[in-house]
Chain A
Amino acid sequence: DAGITQSPRYKITETGRQVTLMCHQTWSHSYMFWYRQDLGHGLRLIYYSAAADITDKGEVPDGYVVSRSKTENFPLTLESATRSQTSVYFCASSQVAGVRTGELFFGEGSRLTVL
């Protein structure tokens, strides 16, 4: 039971480069989320998706792009990475009922460093 997996776990890139973080879940959860976690800010929502082909912005979407062509995958792309996007990124998934109760299942995180 793989659950929810993120790749890569660690990534170092340079300013201006495109980076894609992958997220895959095996539970067939309807909802998927991308958060970033920074010291002093806690977890902040970047984008979320209620189903395949349905995505919406969260609290801090600028500089990020998402897609969801399949229920199980929710990649996050930084089209032109900036140093301020250095962070730990968490993907999460949830059933419809879980969204109302805040029951999210998180991946292990992807630590991104932008030089």
Chain B
Amino acid sequence: GENVEQHPSTLSVQEGDSAVIKCTYSDSASNYFPWYKQELGKRPQLIIDIRSNVGEKKDQRIAVTLNKTAKHFSLHITETQPEDSAVYFCAARPQGGSEKLVFGKGTKLTVNP
């Protein structure tokens, strides 16, 4: 089955710097890759996603890139702010009618003022 690896597990940056989180997946047939942000004590919130027919997607300060050949996708946050501090989860959905998302283990991002 699908396996998603996420790195790094923790990331600390200075306010205004960029942050990059990477995920690799094992099933080449996976076709949907969302990213979630979870603030302390709250539910994970979908912040951006990408489908396998697209290489890059941007939404203001966040962007996701997908490399299907290498089977990895990345979250990029530019001009980081303290409110970006949270745990970020990547996920992949295998093709073939799978109803499940397979999640990475999460990255704790800390943005220092």
Q: Do A and B bind each other?
A: no
Using a CB–CB distance below 8 Å, which chain A residues touch chain B? none
